[in-house]
């Protein structure tokens, strides 16, 4: 018995379009925006200092010469919140690196991205996902090139990131 899949495909496409529309609605406002930006990794990484206090976050573009002028501070520069502005729509919005069944066990959308990628080896590629001491060698950054060291260029089946967005990813890695 042959099943007609065209009705199922049309229903599935309509459902996905409706879900995308609903998920793109305005989230409202936050009273304590910094609390959420820190968790998302956009305000830089802080760590306990020798005196028990916290060290200030390093500038997001510290020491990098990418050829593109960026300011990765969350409120003032073109990079803004890299996780929300770049990773969520380009990496997680495709269903690849989201919280539900992330490809290569790499979730780039849930809170705490930096904790999951900094100093962590990639699955299937012999490289560190995000290495702030050598951001250009980080797998997340190298996968954005047309010829990554392994696998396919990212984002898969989507237009490549702009030079500015690539520079923002590099600056985000360096700031962790």
Which letter does DSSP use for residue 43 in this model? T
Give the separation between CA 176 and CA 135, rounded to whole angstroms: 10
CA distance 131 to 142: 11
* Run of H or E including 117: helix 113-117
pLDDT of 93: 77
pLDDT, residue 92, reads 87
Q: Tokens 């968790």 sit at which residue?
A: 39
pTM: 0.58
Q: Cα–Cα distance between 8 and 165 in angstroms, integer? A: 37
Q: Please state, in angstroms and rounded to a whole number, the distance separating the CA atoms of residues 139 and 151.
A: 11
* Low-confidence spans in the chain with pLDDT less than 50: 1-2, 8, 18, 21-76
Render pLDDT for 114-136 as a digit per residue (tens, 0 to 9).
Answer: 999 999 999 988 899 999 999 99
pLDDT number for residue 14: 58
């Amino acid at each position: 018995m042959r099943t007609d899949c065209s009705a199922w495909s049309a229903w599935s496409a309509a459902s996905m379009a409706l879900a995308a529309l609903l998920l793109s609605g305005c989230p409202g406002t936050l009273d304590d925006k910094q609390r959420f930006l820190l968790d998302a990794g956009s305000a830089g990484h802080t760590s306990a200092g020798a005196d028990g206090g916290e060290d200030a976050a390093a500038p997001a573009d510290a020491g990098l010469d990418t050829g593109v002028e960026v300011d990765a501070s969350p409120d003032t520069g073109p990079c803004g919140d890299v996780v929300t502005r770049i990773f969520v729509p380009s990496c997680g919005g495709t269903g690849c690196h989201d919280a539900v069944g992330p490809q290569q066990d790499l979730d780039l959308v849930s809170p705490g991205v930096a904790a999951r990628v900094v100093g962590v080896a990639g699955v299937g590629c012999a490289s560190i996902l995000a290495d702030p001491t050598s951001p250009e060698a980080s797998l997340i950054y190298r996968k954005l090139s047309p010829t990554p060291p392994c696998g396919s260029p990212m984002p898969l089946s989507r237009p490549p990131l702009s030079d500015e967005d690539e520079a923002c990813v590099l600056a985000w890695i360096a700031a962790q």
